[in-house]
Amino acid sequence: MKLARDALATMDDVGVFQGTDLGVGSLLPIAASEFQMDVFAMDIDPNYAYGSVAWLAGGLIERYESFDDYYLAMLDYNREDLKDLRSKQLD
């Protein structure tokens, strides 16, 4: 998780959160890519969108209302990747 925390700190340093309601202090990293700059973080600010999940990669890519929404979206992405890989095997 150090990788994810460092990535969030860097995003904060370069102003990625400016103009958003996100702040590095209210984000709990829940997943990160080792090879890309994608970080998924849950908002833990009880006064705002508590429990929502932000997908960050040099900026806000997507915001999910809940962990369930995030999880289901990731399953869909993985299904699409698997479908693509299978079609390439058949070519």
pLDDT in tens, 9-60: 888 898 888 888 888 889 999 998 888 889 999 999 888 888 999 999 888 9
Residue type, 35: F
Distance CA 25, CA 44 (A): 9
pLDDT in tens, 65-89: 999 999 999 999 999 999 999 988 8
Neighbours of 82 (CB within 10 A): 10
Structure-token pair, residue 30: 């829940």
Secondary structure element (H or E) that encloses residue 28, with its range: strand 27-32
Asked whether the beta carbons of 43 and 54 are under 8 A apart, the reply is: yes
State the pLDDT at residue 91.
67
